[in-house]
Structure 1
Amino acid sequence: MNYQNISLQVENKVAKLSINRPKKLNALNRATLQEIHEALTDLKADESVKIIVLTGTGEKAFVAGADIAEFANYSEKEGEDLAAKGQELVFDYIANFPKPVIAAVNGFALGGGLELAMAAHFRIASKNAKLGLPETSLGVIPGYGGTQRLPQLVGKGRAMEMIMTAKMISAEEALQYGLVNHVCELEELDEKVNAVVQKILGNSLQAIEAAIKAINDGYIDGVNGFESEIKAFGEAFGTEDFTEGTTAFLNKQKANFK
């Protein structure tokens, strides 16, 4: 498929999905969100793809935010629809994606950009990254899950401060906060991401899919994450991956998961 606002590369079981609007610092608009959803839907069905890496084109920005020019004149109803559709098509879709999704944060990750990174299962940032939710400086609040995911990652107090002050934090501060997992030089970002990807690929992706769901269930009101874990743990005993993994361990061999 030919995309206008993203680029997609698939190699060695890994899909690299890049927001490709460098002149706009990869800002998100409705068309970009739709393309992200369409690409992820295809990648979900593609059994040859095991891991997705989200990033931005160029060295300046992962995603510098939403495209403000697109919604500056929206009504209340249009604004609510913008948030609802965006969360459904992209942000919640990524958070609950059955395959690992890693955000490679290269440069600015602001507003919707940070929300996109937070929707990923975890984040690796370059040292030039700047992260923040500046929406209150525009008279609005984060609308793509920022008020929910940021406190989960950094704690309520830090989330309150970041949103109230609209300040940007550095990659090192984000690492200290627990907002990103690793920080490296910009030119080493691909190498660092690939090193983590290779570790993941050595494990049972069937088990990882179950773990993603169990972890996410623990953050859903009315859902008992412990019960989800117990059920998924039991189901794992009936899989070929369990047989392969335990047999390889007992024979002191490396597992070859299918």
Structure 2
Amino acid sequence: MSGVHLIRRGEVAELRLDNPGKLNALSMAMLNALVAHCDAIERDDVIRAVVLSAEPARAFCAGADIAEWGGYSPRDFARHWVRAGHRAFDRLARLAKPTVAAIYAHAFGGGLELAAACDARVLGPRATLALPETGLGIVPGWSGTQRLVRLIGEPAVKEMALFGRRIPAERALALGFAAEVADDPTAIAFAMAERSAGLSPRAVEIAKAMIHAAADEDRAAAIEALGSAAAGAAEDRAEGVAAFGAKRPPEFSGR
């Protein structure tokens, strides 16, 4: 059955796109499943890193399922379809745990935007990137003009969105989109995830939040999360909670 599957492999979880009959195109059900799986991963203290992969097809992900979104009214397209994609991709991008995408074939439109929401990407030598939306009378709507511009720069995104050009794997590596180009991108992605799983999980989580703040990836939430974590680790927090429960004034020590 098509969907997004969560496969636990000890400290590394795999999120696998499974819609090969449609080149792993994303449906509303798949977007909702991605959110649910990310929530489950966040709550699972055993999982320390995530690999995003796809069932074998001619594309890693051909983007959004045209047969599904083509039936939406203009209002519902913007209100429901576009927002659902943002909700799913933002949830993936803001996982506290590091994510690596294994891209063995083409990543087009929403598939490229999905890969951009990961922390790192490994491409197969024949993989290509594209933003074909303008050829369908729409525009990149799931962060292709925002997150992707921050990641690889305005000129490359304009080439894809305004001129219909495709970016091959080696150029994606030169642009910094890919961490590596390899014959077996899934094996490399798992090796990276397993290496991350051996690092301090708390330090990795904090480092990711700090880097996201610098890159303007939900900067306000990242700063508040870091501040809340620091305050939450202080003795004053325990005293404040205890005083509230005992209905007495707190005696803060500043520690």
The aligned counterpart of 1:45 is: 43
Supply the distance in 2 between the matched residues of 1:222 and 1:112 (Cα, whole angstroms).
Answer: 20
Once residues 230 and 45 of structure 1 are traced to their aligned partners in structure 2, the CA distance between those partners, rounded to angstroms, is 18
Q: Out of 216-225 and 174-183, give the one that drifted further.
A: 216-225
- Alignment-derived partner of residue 137 in structure 2: 139
Q: Of the candidates 205, 208, 233, which is equivalent to residue 212 of structure 1?
A: 208
Percent of aligned pairs with the same amino acid: 33
Partner Cα distance (1:94, 1:154) in 2: 19
Aligned-pair CA distance for 1:222: 9.6
Which residue identity lines up with residue 36 of structure 1 in the other structure? L
| Matching of residue 190 in structure 1 with residue 186 in structure 2 | yes
8 Å Cα contact 1:214/1:232 also seen in 2: no
Q: 1:173 aligns with which of 167, 171, 174?
A: 171
Give 3-state SS (helix, strand or coil) of 1:141's partner: coil
Task: Tell me the amino acid that sits aligned with residue 86 of structure 1.
Answer: G
Rg larger for: 2
| Alignment correspondent of 2:108 | 110
Which 4+ runs in 1 deviate beyond 3 A? Answer: 219-235
1:100 to 98, 101, 125: 98
Structure 1's 230 and 113: CA in aligned 2 closer, same or farther, altered over 3 A?
closer
- Distance, in Å, in 2 between the alignment partners of 1:107 and 1:178 is 18
Q: TM-score when scaled to structure 2?
A: 0.82
Q: Give, in whole Å, the separation in 2 of the partners of 1:64 and 1:5.
A: 14
For residues 117 and 12 of structure 1, what CA distance do their matches in structure 2 show?
23
Q: How does 1:154-169 map to 2 (within 5 A)?
A: 154-169=152-167
2:212/2:222 contact within 8 Å kept: no
Q: CA deviation at 1:35?
A: 1.2
C-alpha contact 1:18 1:56 (8 A) present in aligned 2:
yes
Task: Give the stretch that moved more between structures: 188-197 or 153-162.
Answer: 188-197
Deviation digits for residues 208-255 of structure 1 (CA, Å, limit 9, x no counterpart): 1111112222243995899779969978x98xxxxxxxxxxxxxxxxx
- TM-score, length-normalised on structure 1? 0.82
1:245 corresponding residue in structure 2: none
Consecutive unaligned residues in structure 2, runs of 5 or more: 235-255
Structure 1 residues 70 and 176 mapped into 2: Cα distance closer, same or farther (>3 Å)? same
Give the 3 Å change call, closer, same or farther, for CA 15–224 of structure 1 in structure 2. closer
Partner Cα distance (2:192, 2:207) in 1: 17
1:58-73 pair list within 5 angstroms: 58-73=56-71
Give the alignment's Cα RMSD to 1 decimal: 2.6
State the Cα deviation string for residues 165-190 of structure 1 (Å, max 9, x = none).
Answer: 122211111111111111101xx223
Greater length-normalized contact order (CA 8 Å, ≥ 6 residues apart): 2
The Cα offsets for residues 120-178 of structure 1, whole Å up to 9 and x where unpaired, read as 11111111211111111111111111100121111112222221112221111111111
Residue pair 1:62, 1:108 contacting (<8 A) in 2 also = yes
Aligned residue for 2:73?
75
Distance 2:222 2:32 in 1: 34
What SS does structure 2 have at the residue aligned with 1:73? coil
Query: Given residue 195 of structure 2, which amino acid in structure 1 is its aligned partner?
Result: K
SS of residue in 2 equivalent to 1:86 = helix
In structure 2, what is the Cα distance between the partners aligned to 1:24 and 1:232?
43
CA distance in 2, matches of 1:232, 1:203: 23
Q: Deviations over 1:58-109 (max 9, x none)?
A: 1522111110111113222112121112211x11111111111111112111
Once residues 54 and 182 of structure 1 are traced to their aligned partners in structure 2, the CA distance between those partners, rounded to angstroms, is: 15
- Kept in 2: contact 1:62–1:105 (CA 8 A): yes
1:85 aligns with 2:81: no
